Amino acid sequence: MTIITRGGVRISYDDCGGTGPLAVLVMGSGSPGRVWHTHQVPALRGAGFRVVTLDNRGVGGSDECTAGFTIDDMVGDVAALVEHLDAGPAAVVGTSLGARIVVELALAHPDLVTRAVALAAHARLDPVQRAFTAGEIALADEKIVLPLGFHAAVAAMQNLSPATLRDEQTAQDWLDLLSFGGAAITPGHRAQLAASTALADRGAAYRDVAVPLLVVAFADDVAIPPRLSREVADTVPGARYVEIPDAGHFGYLERPDEVNRVLLDFLAVR
């Protein structure tokens, strides 16, 4: 991992190599950039991209910034990274909170972005998502740590498709994986959650996105329902919309072949 510093905040990134066009991958809340490394990094490397992942401020090797920060801060971090790499403009891919970051980046810094892909895109949170996120923040503030098995079960139901969980061995494998990182919400993760809830409905603003955009929704996503992703695609002029079946919020891990296929089709150098 390598560090850049922006405004006194250290941002950790991983240059995965490659000599082609730059692609920067932005993860969702609570997750480090290495989550991309199992499936999306090899696919993009194989397609000729130079691939870079980063840990958003709040998690991983980046500073936690427990006093809080905004989406604009996170967008600025990605912009600073692209400029630091001196290989832009870049294709940018984000999921969940990362999807908001890359769409906002395309809006604020179109000169730094060739194409943007937003997995589980959304311009707003609906009442259920807002209440769920507020509950996670309250757990952190009250220093309540859920029992590990219960935490894993909730995470599985929140992020995975019933099609994935139907196979009991696969379900158990996921429960084991989701237990690995523990159940505590770290201060940095809590700050990311707060930044997400603070962002108002951005639907009207997204009408001004001029960068080519692919919106990818996951048919069984209960964290960010497909209708919210469809709203983004319907708002951004010329945006393309793809919905992946039998996939939940972690669709890029559940159905990596399908996700990578649509990514590469959209990002292919023309």
User: What DSSP designation does 142 have?
Assistant: T
pLDDT recorded at residue 269: 56
pLDDT recorded at residue 19: 87
- What pTM, to 2 d.p., does this model score? 0.96
How far is Cα 12 from Cα 84, in angstroms, rounded to an integer?
Answer: 12
Q: Say if residue 270's pLDDT is above 70.
A: no
Whether 201 is catalytic is: no
Candidates 3.40.50.1820, 3.50.50.60, 3.90.440.10, 3.50.30.30; correct CATH number of 2-124+200-267? 3.40.50.1820
pLDDT in tens, 185-205: 999 999 999 999 998 899 999
Model confidence at 133, pLDDT cuts 50, 70, 90, reads very high
Query: Catalytic residue among 73, 77, 220, 221, which?
Result: 221
How far is Cα 171 from Cα 59, in angstroms, rounded to an integer?
Answer: 26
User: What DSSP line would sit under 251-267, residue for residue?
Assistant: HHHHSHHHHHHHHHHHH
Q: Domain ranges in the chain?
A: 2-124+200-267
| Average pLDDT over all residues of the chain | 96
Element (H, E) at 190: helix 187-198
**Contact (CB, 8 A) for 169 and 177:** no
Whether 220 is catalytic is: no
pLDDT recorded at residue 1: 79
pLDDT recorded at residue 47: 95
3 state DSSP class of 161: coil
Query: Catalytic residue among 122, 151, 189, 249, which?
Result: 249
pLDDT recorded at residue 88: 82
Whether 249 is catalytic is: yes
3 state DSSP class of 17: coil
Query: Catalytic residue among 96, 161, 196, 229, which?
Result: 96
